Amino acid sequence: MLSRSMYRQNEGLAPFRYVSVICFFLLLPLSTNSFAVSLEEKSVVYSNLLYTTAVFWDDLPPPSNEEITKAIFDSGIKSDNSKIGYLYRYIFWLITKEQRLGVPPEAPPTEEQWLALKEVNIPRYAAARGMYILTKYFGEEKRVSKTIPLLTKLKNELLETGNTEAIAIASAFLGADYSEVNIFKAIEEYTYSYPHLKQEDDNRKLETKYLSRYLVSKNIAALFSNLKFYSNALPFAYSLIDESLYKVNVSDFAYPIHALIGLNRFDESIQLAEKAITLANEKNDEHKLAHAIAFKVSILMHRYSSDDILILPELTRKAHDLIHSVPNAQFDFYYSYINLLYSAFNEQNESKFSEAVSAHIEDTKNRIRVYGDNRTLVENLYTLLSRIYELRAYTGAIRTSIPALSGHPFRFNPDTDSGINQPVFC
């Protein structure tokens, strides 16, 4: 459920998933009541399980909803009458609506119960309370008008503690919500939180992995790039492919490549695309190899030399063949983009080329419905189509008029429209 929000982009919005699960339930004790455990130990178990529930509930398994529910009950939380046990049980109920948890919906956690958790561990309290606020109003109309004041109050409370990690966690939640209504405030909160967030720790999942330094770096890079502040985006984008910080994924190269293209630093961006291609080959991952080749094609389309244009048909054919060899390729983030590139440089039939254009426009409209009015997606679409039609004209193809995104009002207010999203190349 919550993994489909702007907090965590899943496969439907981006070509990678931020979390991997390997028998998550094996990491949990069978029951927190089966032996004497401290409140600290209880809160660790419940917090880690809350992370898994928030990220994977109603998402593609593993783990399934049934496995998550079993882990919740196996934790012993239903019979835990402690203050901490009740507040975690209530958040689990908010996400799962599991009636067997025995939670009265009209009785949310009290300040006394929250204080009990705060006295045990302040960063864990910050993460749990931020999750509670997010979950309580999830899916409501004008949600952020309710959550932002509450998260601001939480941050102010944490400022009085002086605990920098806890303050950073609250700021990260604020950044995620501000990204829906005020791009500049989102950047302010994210950059405030970034230096103080801890590296991911499987023993502290909710505090370090739900809104991790890795995810915050992605969002800062995307927000700056959407504003065309590419120089500001670049340090955060480059950090994503720093092996000393993270396990690098092919898709992470999209962020620095996108910023470098914006700065016309094509030689550097080509080097990164080649590294992405090498990494995909090393992993024997045809899916990611198609993405990496698409990155390179985008760079060549921008650099626009005669030598670049000559190799575009071969590269786009290879990306097309690779992406179509992957099961369920039609759900891939880059599927319509790669199809369009292939058709632009290899399809002589104008009607089939037009079909590819229409399919990519429809895909963009779907993303606009997900993200709301988004100037970046619209601008990238028309830049891409203009470039493609120009290149087809260069190679002698008949150039037709660029179709319009009918029915969409092209308006953008930087105070209300944010559009954090995976870089969409143009």
Assess if residue 281 is contained within a domain: yes
Q: How does 215-246 read in b/e, with b if 16+ C-beta sit within 10 Å? A: bbbbbbbbbbbbbeebebbbebbbbbbeeeeb
Can you give the pLDDT at residue 93? 95
The answer to the question of residue 7 being in a domain is yes
Comparison of pLDDT for 14 and 113, the residue scoring more: 113
pLDDT of residue 210: 94
Residues 29 and 176 placed together within one structural domain of the fold: yes
pLDDT band at 413 (very low <50, low <70, confident <90, very high): very low
Give yes or no: residues 108 and 148 share one domain: yes
How many domains, the chain? 2
Distance, CA of 61 to CA of 71 (rounded, Å) = 14
pLDDT tens across 29-85, in order? 334 443 346 899 999 999 999 999 999 999 877 899 999 999 999 999 999 999 999
Please check the confidence at residue 420 and state whether its pLDDT lies above 70: no
Give per-residue pLDDT as tens, 332-376: 878 999 999 999 999 888 899 999 999 999 988 888 777 665 677
In Å, how far from its chain's centre is CA 107?
A: 33
Are residues 135 and 93 part of one domain?
yes
**Is the residue at 45 inside a domain?**
yes
Contact 401, 357 (CB under 8 A): no
Q: What is the pLDDT of residue 392?
A: 81
The pTM of the whole model exceeds 0.85: no
Mean predicted lDDT score pLDDT of the chain: 84
- Do residues 75 and 25 share a domain? yes
Q: Is residue 244 part of a domain?
A: no
Residue labelled with tokens 């914006």:
262
Do residue 153 and residue 294 come from a single domain? no
Q: Is residue 306 part of a domain?
A: yes
Indicate if the pLDDT at residue 147 is higher than 50.
Answer: yes
In terms of domains, do 121 and 153 share one? yes
One domain, residues 149 and 291: no
pLDDT band at 220 (very low <50, low <70, confident <90, very high): very high
- Residues 290 and 148 reside in one and the same domain: no
Residue 421 lies inside a defined structural domain of this protein = no
315, pLDDT greater than 90? yes
pLDDT at 397: 45
Banded model confidence at residue 426, pLDDT cuts 50, 70, 90: low
The verdict on 136 and 223 lying in the same domain is yes
pLDDT for position 37: 64
Predicted local confidence at residue 408, as pLDDT: 36
Domain that holds residue 99: 2-227
CATH assignment of the domain containing 268:
1.25.40
pLDDT at residue 135, as a whole number: 94
Is residue 408 a part of any domain in this protein?
A: no
- pLDDT score for 32: 46
Residue 400 lies in a domain: no
Long-range contacts of the stretch 410-417 (C-beta < 8 A, 24+): 410/375, 410/378, 411/373, 412/373, 412/374, 412/375, 412/378, 413/373, 414/183, 414/184, 414/227, 415/181, 415/182, 415/183, 415/184, 416/181, 416/182, 417/183, 417/372, 417/373, 417/374, 417/375
Structure tokens at 21: 């699960």
Helix axes 65-74, 39-56, angle to 10 degrees: 170
Could you tell me if 36 and 153 lie in one domain? Answer: yes
125 with 211, same domain: the answer is yes
Domain identity same for 208 and 261: no
Per-residue pLDDT band at 91 (split at 50, 70, 90): very high
